[in-house]
Structure 1
Amino acid sequence: MSGANSPEILAAYDAVRSDKDETNWLIISYASAVGDKLTLSATGTGGLSELTEKLDPSQAQYAYARIEYANDTESTRVKFILIIWIGEGTKIMRKARVSIESGEVKRVLGHHSIQVDARDKSDLDEKEIVIRLRKAGGADYNGGRG
């Protein structure tokens, strides 16, 4: 096991999914100091912009985020995204492990509308992600205006 199903990660996942908890993102990182396992490295309440700032360009990491956006003037939607981050400075062998680890991470962080593969922080533009979420949701009450 890679550690993706640790109690800490499962608790953070439940917090992000909960309507009663302010936590809206988490990051899982590989930590060789704890026996070559994935560990919970950060959580927060500041949305996708805060999460993006916490990603390490020298690491491969997994993130899970709650995204809330206006559907129209009358309603909002809450969707979840899985981010597979491979920073530009990630070592080759670490990049190779992502293909194996990501399957287990996807099983643990199973409920998400879209997966975002990111190599650069610009890949995590919230407006672009909301457009993708609207398309994945099957209904666009915003008249195709993103």
Structure 2
Amino acid sequence: MGGDLTDGCEEAYKAVFSDSEATTWCWLGYEGNKLAVAGKGDGGLQEMLSKVDDNIILYGLLRVNKTDDGGDSKRVKFVYLTWVGENAPAMKKGKVNMHKGACGQLFQGYHIEKQIFAKEELQNLEADIDDSLRRAGGANYDLGNIRTGVQAGKSTDLKNASKEFFSQKEKETTIAGIVYDKGPLSKELTSCDLGGRAMTVGASVAKKNTVGYDSTVQA
């Protein structure tokens, strides 16, 4: 791999991958038979795509800041892009599979990969990347926003409301103050029957204990 990449390639990759640098993308292109840095910047996908041309082949890494979970969770994702221009030299096209693998090894840590062959594909590329990252993450973080109308930054309110709802339901369905005693019920206890409830032992065994309800205990 090292013989196919010039010295600046690794530095360009590290700049995109670094949390302390502003660089969000880089392209590697051909200088003779070797790959060298063909461009980098901090302007995101659209700036990156402005460098593509029908006559060249490029291998690039893009840094994407994804806002998930209604705007409360931010995650960094990396996209590996390969651009194969329609009019690129045939000999260079023949090396794409080999050099795509070499660049993939350099771009360690990318989440998804996209290979592009025509400028028409660039029109919906941002949406395609967004959809692929969602699917690669195993969850659609925008689904709740679409179906419930949750606005960005409001998911905390939704979580708190859900917590309160289920807490109240638990209180409503919990029978508090159940007492199991082999002796006679005391005056403070009221007799009740749990015979219809599922038991881990047979009903005859379970009912050997006296069951009572202490009305002084609150749910």
Q: What CA distance in whole angstroms lies between the structure 2 residues aligned with 1:102 and 1:120?
A: 17
Where does the alignment leave 5 or more consecutive residues of structure 1 unmatched? none
**Equivalent residue letter for 2:19:** D
Is the CA contact (8 Å cut-off) linking 1:52 and 1:121 kept in structure 2? Answer: no
Q: Superposition pairs for residues 93-112 of structure 1, below 5 Å?
A: 93-112=91-110
RMSD: 1.5
1:40 aligns with 2:15: no
Q: Superposition pairs for residues 53-64 of structure 1, below 5 Å?
A: 53-64=50-61
Q: CA deviation at 1:130?
A: 0.8
Instruction: Give aligned pairs, total.
Output: 140
Using the size of structure 1 for normalisation, the TM-score is: 0.88
Alignment-derived partner of residue 27 in structure 1: 27
Alignment-derived partner of residue 2 in structure 1: 4
SS at match of 1:54: coil
1:115 aligns with 2:117: no
Q: CA deviation at 1:2?
A: 0.8
Q: CA deviation at 1:17?
A: 0.8
Using the size of structure 2 for normalisation, the TM-score is: 0.60
Alignment-derived partner of residue 80 in structure 2: 82
**Equivalent residue letter for 2:8:** E
Alignment-derived partner of residue 134 in structure 1: 134
Q: What CA distance in whole angstroms lies between the structure 1 residues aligned with 2:120 and 2:67?
A: 22
Q: What CA distance in whole angstroms lies between the structure 2 residues aligned with 1:123 and 1:78?
A: 24
SS at match of 2:114: strand
Q: What CA distance in whole angstroms lies between the structure 1 residues aligned with 2:101 and 2:37?
A: 17
Q: What CA distance in whole angstroms lies between the structure 2 residues aligned with 1:123 and 1:91?
A: 20
Where does the alignment leave 5 or more consecutive residues of structure 2 unmatched? 147-219
Instruction: Tell which structure's C-alpha radius of gyration is larger.
Output: 2
